[in-house]
Structures are given as structure tokens and as C-alpha cells.
Structure 1
Amino acid sequence: MTDKETTDVGPWNGVETLTDLEARTETGTYLGTSRHTDADSIRRHYGIRRFDAGDYDWKSVVPGMLMHAKDNSAYSPAGGTSFLCIGSYGAGKSTMAHTVAVQVLDVNSHLNEMGVWRASESRSEWVRFAPWARVYVPRSCEVEARIVSTDEANPYEREVDLEDVVREVVAYEDVHDLNQNVLEPGKFHVVYPDPDFRKCQEIYRRSSKEYDLTFEPGDPVQQWWVSWVQDRVENGPYTFTSAFLDEIHEIISQEVSKDAFDSYQKVQLYRDCHIDARKFNLSLFQWGQDATDVHEKLRRKERWRITMNGRANPTRSSQVVGWDSIPMNTDLASRMKTGQALAYTQTNFEPFTWPDIPKPTDEELKVRLRPKQENARDSVAAEGGGVA
């Protein structure tokens, strides 16, 4: 990752509220009239330097985890990569994730690599990329969007159309339809999971993996991502794809058990699909606030780890589950400043930096999905009706 190029003009001049972004969503990359890719357009907008492997002493560390290839011509084995990044609140996880996303898509544009950002109803950091974002929502849900001011001196809240904030909103039928027919190579996608889990159980039932589990409506919605990874690994398409998964412990928690939602079995399923992801050109970039919150079955399988500023990096192999050695013999990361982190494998380590990527405004975008069947039931109840 690299520092920001100097620019005299702020990236969001003239934007006072998030719906002002609508005029910027018809970019040349969207219309097909630009020679630049989406990633290149984002990079130029924010003044981010192009990723250069020559900036790093150990090519197997940062270049190895971000650069992909169909053969062994990159700095890591062919196919996908993954990392687990740990950082405290305020360390810059969100801006780092955005930098990783744009640089991964940019440096791998020759592979027409696509990006998939894990969206959540509780946060919307991805609005930094709103003019380039194709936002995906399940067709079975109604979408409610609100803009909420975080300015104590000027508090307000108003409903908006999500289409007035982002480049495009696209509905998908089910998890398999999303992968097979909807996601587009070379694009930055923001995906909201389907609370109805449509076709998730069918995909699992057709698999050779057997853990005695069920995907069904009412399960914690973050478990949908386990099915998405499984479908992508087992059924393709095998276009190079990078998934950006913040708060990974919400999906793969250390505290899971064999509960009514089969949470432990789904951790096992994610672990197995994670192992297979590389050879099917799927990269899983995962962030969390504490490594011990993330299930050890996943931690054992990570080839790359990152410790962000303000946290002590490991100095003994016993501190990293599943690793036999640690290349650092002293703490480097805890003394780093915001925007700095330490990446490492079992053999080498390297510090790196990333630029600030400002949000368009201080507002928050709140998105809520509500199953249409639920809305219909509420309407019948309000009218005093019922099901015959």
C-alpha cells in the first residue's frame, strides 16, 4: 500500500449531503466511455498512488497477499490469497479496507478482478466509494434508506432513495443467482445479505460437505456469508474475486456453539471453504478488533496476518494459533501511528502505510431490509385478517 499523492482539490468539494453524489454516479467508467477502470477512477479521485511491488523489501509479504496470478508468476502461489487484520477502534481499519479494495482491483485489473464488500445494516463505511458502487439487495426485501446527521449542532434525519446515493441498485433472486448472473467482473460491489437465505440450504444439500446444519429464515443474517463463500467456491464462476469482510468475528466467532442456528457447524463449513478458496481464485480479506474473537479454526489457516497501529504484534509463535515461527522478536506495531500497520508471514514482516480516504459528508447512511412477506403479514394483522 502507498501514501497519497499531493492534490490541491478535495475529493468531495461541492458535496453537502449524500444525495449530492447522484450527479457523480454517471461516471465514464459506468457509461463505458472511459479508458480507465473503476479502480483506476477511484484511485485518481482520491490521489492514491498506484501499487508498486518495488516499494517493499519482502515481496512475499504485502505484494504477495495483494497481487494475484493464474500461475506462479506473482509473489505467492497461483489463485486467491487471504489475510486476517487486527486493529482497535480508531486505528484506521475502514480507510485501510478501502485502500486494499481499490489497490487489489487496480493492480489485478489485467485479471478483470471483481470486489465484493460485505454490507451491514448497522454501518455504511462504503459510501466513500458510492459513485462507483453497484449495491445489491435481495429481491424478496423492501429497502428503506435514511440519512442521519452526526452533527450535534445540526441534527436531522430524512428518508432517501438508495438510488439517489449510489451508482446503481440491483436486486438478486438468491445467493446462487447473485454469483452466477448478477456480479460483474472488474466492478466494486456492495452486497447486502438475504435474511430469507433463499437457495442456501439447496446449495449446502448438493455439497459433499456434511455437518448436519440448516440454513433457514430466522438464522443470524451474517451466516448468509458462509453460504455465499460456499456457493462461490463450489459452483463458481471462477473469475478472480476479492471479498472484503469487516468485523469477521460476527461471522466466525470464537464463542459459537452447536446452537439452534448450527453456528459451530457453519464455522466448520466456512473453514473448509476458506481452505479451498485459493485454488478457485477467491481472496478473503478479513478485519477484526481482537484475534481471540475470531474462531481458531479460521486463525489456523491464515498465511498472512496484519497487526495495526496501537496493538502489540506477536513476538512468539505460541501467540499465533497454528504458526510454527514468528519473524519479529520485538514489538513494532504498538508504537505506530494511525495509518500504519505491520504485515507478516511466518518468515518475513514488513510495515506499510495507507492514506486517509475521507467520507463525502459527516452523515451516516442507514439501510434497512425488511422481507416483503413480513410486511404482508403485518398488513393483514393490521386489517384484522388472517390466513385461511
Structure 2
Amino acid sequence: MSTIIDPKADTQAKIREQLREATEPHEKSCQALGNVEAPNHNDGEELHRHFSIPPLHKYLAAAERNDAAVAKFPRAFVDAIVHTDERDLELLDALAGKVDYDFRDPNPSHEALERYPRYRAKTLEWIADDPDRVRDIRAVKGTDLFVHGEPGGGKSTLALSQVLWRMENNNETCIWAESVDESGTNERTEWLAFAPFATLAIPEGMDTRVRIVPEDVTVDEFEVRPEAIARDVVRYESIQDLVGQLMPGQFYVVFPDPLHRGCREVSKFNYFDYREVTPVDEDGPNQPTDADQWWFAFVAHRISGDTFPHPTFINFDEAGNLLDPDAEKDVHEHYDKLRWFRNKYADARKKRVSFGYQAHALSEVHQFGRQKIRWRLTMNGNKPPIGRTLPGDRSCPLKSDLTSDMDAGEGVIWKAPHFAPIKWPNLKAQAKLDAEVSIDFRNWQEAVGGV
């Protein structure tokens, strides 16, 4: 008797084979070759085939055929994903209603669109096919999206979909901003479905091991090297060193440096490592600066360093860890860093830096961060903030609760005055692994002054 679904792996050998299949690297792209000028395709052009889903322009065309709001109001969704500058808008205005978009034809119908990579060209052609859509688009070099919803609703999966769409349409460099708990362990490998395209960025000097913990308790856990769960691994000595290693169009999983090397050179705020900790009864920090605050310095260097001008998307899963609503005015200046982050938002947009945020509730992110965020998405099982005044004099355009009864993988994206229900693919299903993946930094406690 055959079964439709294979039983869970019950041996180390089976789990190792699952891991090999889930992480087998894609090796033919410019990024895989380490040469963005090679005549090969970019990773973003391969992702939709890897996940067996249609490209974004076909997603939008299907929504249009179903008379869905996500196709009617591009400012609610398309603007948040597809960057456009003034020259792009001039071309869209010139082509409005003069193209003949056909989702079945992989080539654009107007030669003026041939200046763009083909997936971006087809998305722009879809926009230009309707003058009303062109009028709804705004010049957006840097964007954001704050997703709030209950655990298990699909927040991280939506974040991965954003990465896919951004890499496909903007050839954007996408950075998954990781965090590590006090013990030196990271158990949130939500990005694992992207392993065939991923580069791990690890602080130099960190003794790093990956634990594979089988779901079947009769199977012993085992260890692999970081190189076994990603296409590539780089180690960086400072923020400047890391930014110097970034490659356009690449997907990175970046772990912060608990020693904060380079932070003071690129940021005006305090960053203390374990060697600078003082006794409680003396002036100075009585504990090191939290490793997650390294991200403020990274953003500062990306905005002001002028060393990597390529469009960059930084995704903060569990955003409240960094944008803590209870941040204090202490020696580490967490509160002041948050205020700086709010004030630098416009500069980030000009420098083509975009942000993604995921949290269980809007209140989990400090109001300084929320004041500048323009796009929000309320997940299934979560109620939108109807009738509430939000930080930054913003309001929710929804007049009724459309989301509480939605299924997993659904939500409503909104940016006043528009909103649109959307669905996204379950990209995590691609990585079938009957085990948990934990990344351990074995000397992390030493680096942060622990015992």
C-alpha cells in the first residue's frame, strides 16, 4: 500500500540526505561565481523556478483577472516591492496604455523596456498596461513593510516572499538580520529554504557549529559545519570589512558581532564589549552592549559610508529585539540610537535602503521606529488597528476587520488611503527537513563577558 506523504526520517542517514537536498547550492548565477559582471543570470532570476511559483508579474496578472484589490491599487503593494525612480516613472508615463502586456509572453512588448532585466521589464509592462496603475505609482527608492501577527501565521514566510520578489524585480541585495541569545545560540533558521542561495556572514573569531536535532527523539543529534547549510560562508573582522565583502544581488544571513568591532568608527553612540565592563560601584558600563545593537552601526555605515550603493533590503525578524519599546536612556544609549534611527529614515530611502519588520503586535516596536514606517500588513488571526491614531500621524484605512478570520498565509497590506488583501506562497515547504537546526557560537559567552 503506497502513501502520499513520506514518513518522517527516523535515521541520521535519512536526515543527512534531507539536509543535503534542502541546501544543495545553486552554482550557475553571477553571485555563485562571485562575479556580478559575468554573463550569467542573477540569483533573483532563478528563485521563482527554484520554488516552482510564478514570477511577480504573473502573480499580479492573476490578481487582475480575479478583480483583486492588490492589482487595482499598486500603491498599496507594488510600490512596497518594486523600486522606481524618476526616470522609471517618466518611461511608465510615456508607455501608459501603449503596451500590450501578455503574461504568456516572457518578452516585453515595447523595445523601451528592453533596458531592464526581463522580470523587472514584465512587471513594469504590467503597470504601464493600465494608465490608472501608472498614476498610482510613486517614485520609491527605499521602502519598508511592518508585518504584525500571531505566531505561526506566516510572518517569516512572507518575509522570504519579499526577499524573492525584491531579488527578482530589483536585483536587490537582501540581508536577513539575525540575533543570538545570551547563551550564544540561534534557533530561528527561518531562512533555511533559501540555503541554496545564501551566504552566512559570521564574526571573525567565533567558534561556530551547527547542531541538527532530529524530531524523532530516538535519533541522536549531530553537528555539521556552517558551510553545510549555506552556499557560502564569509567571516568579517569589522562592519567596514563586512560591507566591503557584500555582493550586489546576493542573499545574506548576517550574525551581529558581540565585540562591536568597527561600531565606534561609523556611529557616534556607545558600544562596549566585555573588556570595558566595570564593577557595579564604579563609573562605566556594568555589562556589555547587547549584540543586537550592532545593527544600528551597520545601518549607519550602509547609509553614510558610501561604500555599497546597491539597493539593499534589511529584514528584522522579531523586530522588537532591536526596536525595543522599553529601550532605556542608559550608558549604552539604546533610546538615543532608536531616535537616531527614526531621524535617519529619509536618508536611508535616498540611499536605496529598505527595511522589513516582523512582530507579534504593533506595540512590540518602539514608536520612534513606527513613526516613519509607511507600509503595514495585518496578518490572519490578528485585528487591524481600526480607528486608532498611529505614531507619525498615520491611520489605518480599514473600516472593518477583514483579517481575523483569514487563513494562514493571508493578510491585508495597507498604506493610507489604500489597502489590499494578499496571499503569499509557502516557501518554507521547499526545505523538507525533519529536524531543528541550531547555530551555536561556542565562545559567545566569553565574547560578551559571560561565564
Fold-level match, TM-score > 0.5? yes
Aligned to 1:197: 260
Asked if the contact 1:317/1:323 (under 8 Å) is kept, the reply is no
Tell me what 1:114 maps to. 173
1:339 to 2:404 alignment: no
Name the counterpart of 1:127. 192
Instruction: Provide the rounded CA distance (Å) in 2 between the counterparts of 1:23 and 1:295.
Output: 36
Instruction: Report the Cα offset of residue 371 of structure 1.
Output: 5.0
What does residue 244 of structure 1 align with?
Answer: 315
Query: Which ranges in structure 2 are unaligned for 5 or more consecutive residues?
Result: 64-70, 90-136, 180-185, 274-287
Q: Which of 362, 366, 382 is matched with 2:434 structurally? A: 362
Contact 2:318 2:359 in 1 (8 A): yes
- Say which one has the larger Rg: 2
Q: Report what 1:385 is aligned to.
A: none
- State the AA in 2 paired with 1:145: V
Contact 1:140–1:372 (Cα < 8 Å) also in 2: no
State how far apart, in whole Å, the 2-side matches of 1:142 and 1:60 are: 46
Match of 2:233 among 151, 169, 177: 169
Q: Does the CA contact (< 8 Å) of 2:79 and 2:140 recur in 1?
A: no
Shift of 1:327: 2.0
Residue 351 of structure 2 corresponds to 280
5 Å-filtered alignment, 1:226-375, equals 226-236=296-306, 237-318=308-389, 320-357=390-427, 358=429, 359-370=431-442, 374=446
How far 1:155 moved relative to its partner? Answer: 4.2
- Picking from 158, 179, 182, the partner of 2:222 is 158
Poorly superposed stretches of 4+, deviation over 6 Å: none
Which one of the candidate residues 122, 144, 151 is aligned to 1:82?
144
Going from structure 1 to structure 2, the CA distance change for 1:15 and 1:117 (only over 3 Å counts) comes to farther
Distance, in Å, in 1 between the alignment partners of 2:214 and 2:15 is 11
How has the CA–CA distance of structure 1 residues 122 and 24 changed in structure 2, closer, same or farther, with 3 Å as cutoff?
A: closer
Q: Deviation per CA, 1:232-259, whole angstroms, max 9, x where unpaired?
A: 0111322111111111100011111113
User: Residue 139 of structure 1: which of 200, 204, 208 is its match?
Assistant: 204
Q: 1:167 to 1:254 in 2, by over 3 A?
A: same
The one-letter code of the counterpart of 2:88 is S
**Are the counterparts in 2 of residues 135 and 169 from structure 1 also a CA contact under 8 Å?**
yes
2:83 paired with 1:64:
no
Name whichever of 41-50 and 283-292 sits farther off: 41-50
TM-score by length of 1: 0.84
Matched, 1:40 2:45: yes
Whether the 8 Å contact between 1:323 and 1:346 is mirrored in structure 2 is: no
CA contact (8 A) 1:314 1:326 kept: yes
AA aligned opposite 2:438:
K
Kept in 2, the 8 Å contact 1:244–1:284? The answer is yes
Please report the RMSD computed on the Cα atoms of aligned residues, expressed in angstroms. 2.8
The separation in 2 between residues aligned to 1:332 and 1:115, in whole angstroms, is 31
Q: Deviations over 1:15-72 (max 9, x none)?
A: 7436414872152222479843212322211112111255311011110100012336
Flag the 1:19–1:162 CA change in 2: closer, same or farther, 3 A: farther
Contact preservation (8 Å) 2:384, 2:396: no
Kept in 2: contact 1:71–1:79 (CA 8 A)? no
Distance verdict in 2 for CA 1:76–1:360, change over 3 Å: farther
Per-residue deviation, 1:126: 1.1
Contact in 2 for aligned 1:117/1:245 (Cα 8 Å): yes
Q: Percent identity?
A: 29
- 272-281 vs 17-26, greater mean Cα deviation: 17-26
- The answer to whether the 8 A contact 1:91-1:310 is kept is yes
